[in-house]
């Protein structure tokens, strides 16, 4: 297991920043632009969005030189070497492939895609082009995650045979009626929106074992009647809701290990972002900026709390931007390559297929 180098300032002094283009000027683009500003890993040169007012707003906020309505024009005309792809989910694959064919390195927002064949085409194009394709698995870069990954890699937990992963909101449906809640544009609801983070994180910490089967269930109990709404995104009340608001799954791997996953936008239950790893030597639980290690000493249960630098959304995006720059410059391997994004996509697609069929699905 490789551990991601997080020495932002020292690396920023050593390697020149990327000339970066942003495709899609929605809310998530701000996280990437702020990461570029904080780390100096990239200089945003161009931004594109068919809603020019939104692109112009980002230009004014971040001093971006060029604004485009059509990303094809940006790819053809702008002096950029890499792009961040962050339009709605159904466009990730085609925009990524176009960018790779234009000779650009790509950081693609999660989910990589909601169809395995589309994700495969993205990986194939990256190999053909020789460019970096990194998937936006931003949780991997948190200090607690990197510390715990080292513990797993060094064998401290033994064989990690089970993980319990949750991303549960009480009332958190984003942008009711917008692309977030339309299956043809988003691919699904909380499973593909927030569950992807917890699934990837558990799988990453376990060492990315090969998935072999999934069993999943999904429910749409509150969303269709406009209950359980959150604050993220902009509602479109003339839109519609045809995705789940609650999902659960069991993913099994070739080495015999498994992940239990819950991803919930809305439900009458306590919110949770818990992640537990259970090994045959020790167990571990991520709790905010701490890791709880559970073991036995002289046949007595013992828990140890290990404190870390504070986790934050900002530290995750900063680490991700640095890692992307380092991979493009050849300073380090890509820490979230398209091949891993493809495996996560296969698991997500399999969960939806299983829920539809009411039976386990082989991967």
Return the residue matching tokens 């005309």. Answer: 77
The pLDDT, as a whole number, for residue 4 is 53
In angstroms, the Cα distances linking 302 to 25, 92, 133, 151, 293 are: 48, 46, 43, 17, 8
SS3 content of the chain, % helix, strand, coil (to 5): 40, 25, 35
Mind listing the pLDDT tens digit for each residue in 237-251? 999 999 999 999 999
Shared domain for 60 and 108, answered yes or no, is yes
Q: Is the pLDDT of residue 138 over 70?
A: yes
Strand-pair partners of 298? none
Give the pLDDT confidence score for residue 192 in this predicted structure.
97
Convert the pLDDT of each residue in 251-267 to its tens digit.
Answer: 999 999 999 999 999 99
- Asked whether residue 135 falls in the same domain as residue 167, the answer is no
Let me know if 19 is exposed, middle or buried by CB neighbors in 10 A (0-12, 13-18, 19+). middle
Q: Are residues 207 and 356 in the same domain?
A: yes
Residue 211: CATH number of its domain: 3.30.360.10
**Exposure of 86 by Cβ count < 10 A (0-12 exposed, 13-18 middle, 19+ buried)?**
buried
Which residues constitute the domain of residue 233? Answer: 159-280+343-362
Q: pLDDT digits over 48-78, tens only?
A: 999 999 999 999 999 999 999 999 999 999 9
Q: For the segment 266-318, what is each residue's pLDDT rounded down to a tens digit?
A: 999 999 999 999 999 999 999 878 999 999 999 999 999 998 777 666 789 99
Q: Could you list the beta-strand ranges (E) of 78-208.
A: 82-85, 105-109, 133-136, 160-168
| Tally of domains within the chain | 2
Considering the domain boundaries, does residue 301 fall inside one? no
| 12/25 Cα distance (integer angstroms) | 25
- Determine phi and psi for 173, rounding to 5 degrees: -70, 125
């Amino acid at each position: 297991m490789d551990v991601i180098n997080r020495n932002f300032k020292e690396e920023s002094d050593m390697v020149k920043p990327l000339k970066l283009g942003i495709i899609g000027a929605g809310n998530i683009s701000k996280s990437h632009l702020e990461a570029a500003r904080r780390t100096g890993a990239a200089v945003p040169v161009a931004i594109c969005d068919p809603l020019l007012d939104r692109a112009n707003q980002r230009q004014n906020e971040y001093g971006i030189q060029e604004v485009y309505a059509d990303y094809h024009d940006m790819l053809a005309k702008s002096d950029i070497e890499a792009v961040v792809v962050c339009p709605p989910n159904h466009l990730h694959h085609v925009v990524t492939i176009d960018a790779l064919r234009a000779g650009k390195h790509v950081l693609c927002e999660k989910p990589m895609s909601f169809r395995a064949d589309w994700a495969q085409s993205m990986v194939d194009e990256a190999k053909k082009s020789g460019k970096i394709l990194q998937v936006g698995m931003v949780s991997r870069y948190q200090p607690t995650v990197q510390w715990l990954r080292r513990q797993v890699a060094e064998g401290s937990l033994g064989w990690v045979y089970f993980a319990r992963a949750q991303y549960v909101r009480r009332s958190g449906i984003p942008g009711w009626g917008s692309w977030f809640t339309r299956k043809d544009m988003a691919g699904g609801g909380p499973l593909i929106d927030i569950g992807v983070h917890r699934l990837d994180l558990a799988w990453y910490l376990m060492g990315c074992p090969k998935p072999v089967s999934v069993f999943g269930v999904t429910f749409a109990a509150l969303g269709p009647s406009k209950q359980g709404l959150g604050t993220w995104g902009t509602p479109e009340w003339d839109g519609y809701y045809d995705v789940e608001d609650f999902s659960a799954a069991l993913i099994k791997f070739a080495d015999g290990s498994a992940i239990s996953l819950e991803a919930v936008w809305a439900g009458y239950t306590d919110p949770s972002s818990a992640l537990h790893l259970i090994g045959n030597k020790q167990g571990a639980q991520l709790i905010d900026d701490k890791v709880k290690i559970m073991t036995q000493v002289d046949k007595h249960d013992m828990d140890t709390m290990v404190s870390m630098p504070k986790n934050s959304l900002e530290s995750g995006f900063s680490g991700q931007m640095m890692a992307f720059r380092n991979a493009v410059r050849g300073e380090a391997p890509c820490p979230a390559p398209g091949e891993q994004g493809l495996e996560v996509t296969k698991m997500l697609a399999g969960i939806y297929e299983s829920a539809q069929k009411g039976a386990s699905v082989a991967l």
